Amino acid sequence: MNSAVIPPSRRGPPCSRSNRAARTAARGYWGLVAAGEPFRLLFPLGAAMGIFGVMMWPLFVWNVTSVYPGVAHARIMIEGFLACFVVGFLGTALPRLLGVPRVTLLESLLNAAALLLAVVLHASGRTLWGDVVFFCVMGTLVFTLLVRALFRNDTPPPAFVLVALGMLCALAGSFSQIIAVVAPSILPDWLPPLGKLMLSQGFLLLPIMGIGAFLLPRFFGLPNRQSLPESLALPPGWIPKAAFAAACGAAVLGSFVLEVHGFRQAGYALRALAVLVYFFCEVPVHQAGWGGGSLALGLRISLFSIPLGYLLLAAMPERTFTFLHVVFITGFSLLTFTVASRVVLGHSGQTEKFRASLRSVLVLSALVALAMLTRVTADWLPRVTMSHYAYAAVAWSLGVLIWAAAILPGVRVMDTSSQES
C-alpha cells in the first residue's frame, strides 16, 4: 500500500517523482488527497459516521430522541461507516496495483459527499433514498475502476476476485432493497432477504477475505501467497489461486441462499467454514507466533471473532442479532480500524510503528472487545438490556475517538520517502 511496496517501474523517473512530491507538499492536505489517496479524506469521515451511527442508541435509550434507531443504525454503519473505508482503501490501492491513473480530487470529493448524503438520508428515515445514493456510489466506483483496468500495466492479486464479488453484493443487495420498496410484487419472497444478507454481510465479508489475503500476511511477517510476478498477462499460478478464492466466495453466497430458505444452521456453518478454510490457507496466522505488535494483536482478535460469531450462530440460530455483533464489532469494525492504521502509518512515513506497541490501538482493541461483550450479554439481561446497548455504544465510540486522535493526524502527513530517488 505505501510507496515502499510499489515497484519502481510504477513510480516514474526520479526527477518526476521528486517534482511531483514537492508540488503535492506545497498544496498541503488537499494536495495529498488529489495525489490519488482518497483514504486521507474518507477514513476520518468514515470514523465520524461510525460514531454517529453507534451513538444513536444512547440518544434513544436516554430519551434524547424518540426515533428507534434499528434500521437507520444498521444502514449507516454499512453504507456510511464501513463503505467509507472500503471506498477509501480500494480507491487508493487498486490504481497503484494496476499501474493506472489514480483517483482524482473531484472523484474523492463526490464519493465523500454522496456517502455523507446517504447517512443523512438514513438518519432522517429516508431509507429508500439512502439505498439509492449508496447504489449510485458503488456503481460509479465499480465503473471507474473497470475503465481504469482497461489500461492496466499489471494483473491484480488473484484474491481480488473476492473483492469483485463483494462489490457485486453491494450493488445487487442495495438494488434488491430498492425494488422491494418500489415494486415489491415483481420479486420472489426470498429475494429481498437474500439481498439484505448480500448488502449487510457479503459486501463486507468478501472484500475482507480478498484484501486480507493480500495485505494481512505483512502484519505477521508471513510470506505473501498473493505476490506473483508483475505481468499484464495472467502470471503462472494466478488462475488456481483465483479459482480457490472464487470457490470460497461461492460458498459464502451459497450460505446466504441456505439461510433465506430456512436452513439457517447449515448456512452459518458453511459461512464459518469458508472463512476458516480461506484464511487458514492464505493467511496462516497459526504459523506466525505471538509477536507483531499492537496491529497484529488487533488482527488476531478480528480473525478469531468472524468465524467464532458464525459458529455461535450455527449453534444458537435463535440468537441471530445477538451473535452477529461478534462478527460486526470485534470482527469487521476492529479489523477495519487495524488495517486503516497500517495504511495511515505507511502513507505518512511511520513504518517503524507497524510492529510496535501502540497504546491507542491497544485501547481501541480493549474497548471494542468490551463493547462486543456488553452488547452480546445484554440480550440475556432483560431488565438492563437497553442500558447495556447504550454502554456498548459509548465504549465503542470512546475507543474510536482515542484511536482517531492518535492515528488520523497521519492523513495530513506525506511519506517523505516518496521524494527519494
DSSP 184-208: GGGS-TTHHHHHHHIIIIIHHHHHH
Q: pLDDT at position 217, please?
A: 83
Please give the C-alpha separations between residue 49 and each of 45, 46, 85, 375, in angstroms, as whole numbers. Answer: 6, 5, 11, 20
Q: Do 83 and 119 contact (CB within 8 A), yes or no?
A: no
Q: Is 359 exposed, middle or buried (0-12, 13-18, 19+ CB in 10 A)?
A: exposed
Q: Which three cell numbers stand for residue 373?
A: 461483550
* C-alpha–C-alpha distance, residues 164 and 207, integer Å: 8
Q: What spatial distance separates the first Cα and last Cα of the chain, rounded to whole Å? A: 19
Q: Can you say whether the dihedral through the CA atoms of 249, 254, 257, 258 is positive or negative?
A: negative
DSSP annotation of 101 reads P
Q: pLDDT at position 4, please?
A: 38
* C-alpha–C-alpha distance, residues 272 and 275, integer Å: 5
Task: Name the one residue in this structure whose C-alpha cell is 500500500.
Answer: 1
Of 264, 150, 149, 256, residue with least CA distance to 206: 256
Please give the C-alpha separations between residue 317 and each of 28, 95, 115, in angstroms, as whole numbers. Answer: 51, 41, 33
pTM tops 0.85: yes
Q: Which three cell numbers stand for residue 246?
A: 472464487
Q: Divide the 421 residues of the chain into consecutive groups of 10 and give the mean pLDDT of each group.
A: 39 47 65 95 97 96 91 96 95 89 94 97 96 97 89 87 96 96 92 96 94 83 77 84 95 97 96 94 73 86 94 94 96 95 93 90 97 96 94 98 96 73 29
Of 78, 74, 36, residue with least CA distance to 57: 74
Q: pLDDT at position 261, please?
A: 96
Exposure string of 209-221, with b = 16+ CB inside 10 Å and e = fewer, is bbbbbbbbbbbbe
Q: pLDDT at position 287, please?
A: 67
Q: pLDDT at position 2, please?
A: 40
Domain residue limits, the chain: 290-421
